Structure 1
Amino acid sequence: MTAEIRHIVYDIGQVLVHYDPLIPFKRIIPDEEKRSWFFAEVCTGAWNHEQDRGRAWAEAEAEAIARHPDEADNIRAFRAHWEEMIPYCYEDSVTLFRKLTASERDVTLLTNFAPDTFSICRARYPFLEESRGITVSGEVGMVKPDRDIFERHAETFGLTPEATLFIDDKAVNIEGARSIGWHGIQFHDAAQLERDLAEHGIIV
């Protein structure tokens, strides 16, 4: 029997909102082999992670262009076409989220996002305002899965660790949450999430 869950913390990307940088880049770099190389060597996940930590886009672009000057236009295209990368939300997942926020459950959001791109996402998907509050990694200079961002979120919102359940699509982030005593559910789809919530005593 798990402890009573009083706080539910949601990730956003790939849990509530779809994110795919390939959407604009299938047009920008039509050649699949070149495009794969670009994301493996130029605008890598690690490179983008630093924007989530709060690095300014101008600095990020300058760093990447210094490494690959011939790719300057494609590097700048990443930020210029960023909004295309969040084309839709997962309606069934959002429905579940809204049921939770409309109930007596305490729901907050904890996301890895650059501050300016999160402003775009927030404006595009107003349901994100329906939780009690949001910790955005780039605004606090910390990123998942590091322990400090989970501690910061818990302190900010007064969460009791053993009564907190974290929902994220990445297993490494779930492990980060568990490192400070939270429970975790790795998200795959809304139906699975609803089943997993029920196992924690949360019937929606």
Structure 2
Amino acid sequence: MSIQAVVFDIGNVLIEWNPERFYDKEVGEERRRKLFKEVDLEGMNLEVDRGAPFARSVHDLAAKHPEWVTEIRMWHDRWIDMASPQIDHSVRIMGALQAKGIPVFSLTNFGIDTYDRAARDYPFMHQFDRDFISGHMKVIKPDPTIYEMLEDASGLRGESLIFTDDRSENIAAAQMRGWRTHRFKGPEGWAKRLVTEGLLTESEAA
């Protein structure tokens, strides 16, 4: 079966996502480690990815941890600094696929408000042929439901899809549905995989 669409994760595939790096720079590694141990920022962010309101979620968490108010509010006020920079080579690959008429979908754990905020800085986020954003779908990877929802909406499944993601559990869930997959460790490897699949030439994937 030939590939009919290419599916991209966004965080750490098209945009770097590294809250630890941001907080290390802002408050120092020792204080960041203490913050992340005492405050469940990641858990809060997963709820935002499931569709919870971004600002309210951050402010509610800050209210529960008055000793960390300034740091917690950074998650909202400085969010774009954590979701940066754009991975230019990956964005070029996306454009090269579309220039050849190959549909490109997103499949991403992303909040509604945070996606809209990021899209102001990263225009490619408005250019997918189909968007599958967890905040709107109310379910996050690697729940099998989100993959099934993409299949049902697109009419594609199994080896007609090739999916890249940086997280092994998300890749494993796609493999369980028969999708072709590529564990993203950098755009060069992803480019080579698309050349191997016959979707791009080496010059197109550069």
TM-score by length of 1: 0.89
Q: 1:121 — aligned with what?
A: 118
Question: Is the partner of 1:184 in helix, strand or coil?
Answer: strand
Question: Is the partner of 1:104 in helix, strand or coil?
Answer: coil
Give the partner amino acid of 1:94. Answer: V
Alpha-carbon RMSD across the aligned residues, in angstroms, is: 1.9
Instruction: Choose which of 13, 21, 31 in structure 2 pairs with 1:15.
Output: 13
Give the partner amino acid of 1:164. Answer: L
- In structure 1, what is the Cα distance between the partners aligned to 2:14 and 2:139? 21
1:60 Cα deviation from its structure 2 partner: 4.7
- In structure 2, what is the Cα distance between the partners aligned to 1:165 and 1:40? 36
- In structure 2, what is the Cα distance between the partners aligned to 1:107 and 1:129? 12
Give 1:102-121 correspondences, 5 Å limit. 102-121=99-118
1:71 Cα deviation from its structure 2 partner: 1.4
The answer (yes or no) to whether the contact 1:42–1:64 under 8 Å persists in 2 is no
Instruction: Choose which of 132, 138, 143 in structure 2 pairs with 1:146.
Output: 143
Q: 1:6 — aligned with what?
A: 4
Matched, 1:192 2:197: no
User: Which consecutive residues of structure 2, in runs of 5 or more, have no partner in the other structure?
Assistant: 202-206
- In structure 2, what is the Cα distance between the partners aligned to 1:95 and 1:124? 16
Q: 1:62 — aligned with what?
A: 60
Q: Which moved more, 1:113-122 or 1:43-52?
A: 43-52
Q: 1:45 to 1:100 in 2, by over 3 A?
A: same
User: Which consecutive residues of structure 1, in runs of 5 or more, have no partner in the other structure?
Assistant: none
1:63 Cα deviation from its structure 2 partner: 4.1
Deviations 1:104-141 (Å, cap 9, x if unpaired)?
21211111111111101112111222221211111110
The answer (yes or no) to whether the contact 2:97–2:199 under 8 Å persists in 1 is no
TM-score by length of 2: 0.88
Instruction: Choose which of 74, 77, 94 in structure 1 pairs with 2:74.
Output: 77
Give the partner amino acid of 1:154. Answer: E
Deviations 1:17-59 (Å, cap 9, x if unpaired)?
11222354235423x2121121233144233212111122313
Deviations 1:49-107 (Å, cap 9, x if unpaired)?
121111223135424642x3321222122111111112321111111111001112121
Aligned-residue sequence identity (percent) comes to 31
Give the partner amino acid of 1:82. Answer: W
The answer (yes or no) to whether the contact 2:53–2:113 under 8 Å persists in 1 is no
Q: 1:117 to 1:163 in 2, by over 3 A?
A: same
Count of aligned positions? 200
- In structure 2, what is the Cα distance between the partners aligned to 1:131 and 1:106? 8
Q: 2:169 — aligned with what?
A: 172
